[in-house]
Amino acid sequence: DRYISVPLAQSYFVVPQASPSSDVLIIDTGYTHTDVIYTKNSAFVDFRTIDVGGMQIAGDLAYMFKIPVAAAEQVKSLILSLI
């Protein structure tokens, strides 16, 4: 069996093969953490995980606007849909 890491698979999927001679930074924000993947010339260079994700963003929105977390999740989703 072969194993391929999620960040490596993401870099293969996201970086177009038509432009292999470029630097690419992929930022994947999940619910509990954010992955940052750096590729150069189609090669996987570095990968970091930051312990901040959508859960913390929704929690901060709820705190700042004094709204329930469920409402903050909806606000967060609405904002992200506009980007």
User: Which pLDDT value is given to residue 11?
Assistant: 75
Q: Can you give the C-alpha Rg of the chain in angstroms?
A: 16
User: Which pLDDT value is given to residue 67?
Assistant: 97
Residue 57 has phi, psi (to 5 degrees) of: -65, -45
Read off the pLDDT of residues 3-50 as tens digits, 9 standing for 90 and up: 777 777 877 777 766 566 678 888 888 899 999 989 888 788 899 999
The whole-model pTM stands at 0.70
